Amino acid sequence: MPSEIRIISLKDSVQRRTEIEAQMARLAVPWSFYDAATSLPDWLPYNARHAVWNRGRELTRGELGCFASHVSLWKWLSEHNDLNSMCVLEDDVLINWSFFEKAGEFDASFNGFNFVRFYGKLPVSTRCIAPVLGRYLVEYRRPVYGTQGYWINKAGAKLFLSSIQKVVRPIDDEMDRVWAHGVPSLGLYPAPLTELDFGSTIEMDRRLDLPALRGSDRIMRLLARAAEKARRIAFYAGIRWFRPRRLPITDRIQSA
């Protein structure tokens, strides 16, 4: 079964839904809206103190809702018997419709990989892998951030889920942590979509002036950043650090 396109959108975001609906009308591929979450479910714990250590601040309500929306879709895919992959889009994008018209070819074109981003917020160094669908499949060597659009298969969804024990950073940060979940950070060049400026409340909240950390929080923040950098460098140098087996979110839900 070809990839289905799921579009994350708040139920009351009329303008955004109208805009993306007009774009999707040009495609002869299955798609549907996925009502975005506004808070985390009970089975996904959030640790505000650890968020401060990892990101220098607590996460915003929008970031928590975004995290819940993507993780819930991964869980849905991992449990869907008739679907092997899906395309996830957010509702604030402008798509290259001729590219997404080929969604039925994504599984074959991305064979051997679990996750391919369609957009990245930062320009970073890449390694070219192969030509794909009139573009180049590339590997990002540093975090690129952004959750605007991507293809993911069932195996990739399960790997992402198994690496998450609690929410301590935004979801795009988690997706970039190749050293934690083992899913290569791949993308396409040129990107087949771009982000529209609807005045993201998540981005505005992220840019608010924040007070400097003090005492133990400042020390833990420095240690957390150093540890992440060391893990990233070790990973790309070919050093695989021992990690204990983790209980996937899907198993934790069933045992709760």
Say yes or no to pLDDT of 198 above 80. Answer: no
* Residue that is written with structure tokens 């133990």 in the block: 216
Grouping H, G, I as helix, E, B as strand and the rest as coil, residue 94 is strand
- Enter the pTM of the model: 0.87
Q: For residue 27, what pLDDT band results from cuts at 50, 70 and 90?
A: very high
Strand-pair category, 135-140 with 31-35: unpaired
List, for residues 91-132, the tens digit of each pLDDT value.
Answer: 999 999 999 999 999 999 999 999 999 999 999 999 999 999
Domain residue ranges in the chain: 4-255
Q: Which residue has the tokens 């990107």?
A: 191
Higher pLDDT, 69 or 208: 69
State yes or no: pLDDT of 241 exceeds 70: no
For residue 27, the 8-state DSSP code is -
Q: Output the CA torsion sign for 241, 242, 245, 247.
A: negative
In angstroms, rounded to a whole number, what is the distance separating the alpha carbons of residues 88 and 84? 13
pLDDT band with cut points at 50, 70 and 90 for residue 41: confident
Residue 239 in tokens:
């050093």
- Does the domain at 4-255 match CATH 3.90.550? Answer given as yes
Q: Are 156 and 183 in contact (CB under 8 A)?
A: yes
State yes or no: pLDDT of 202 exceeds 80. no
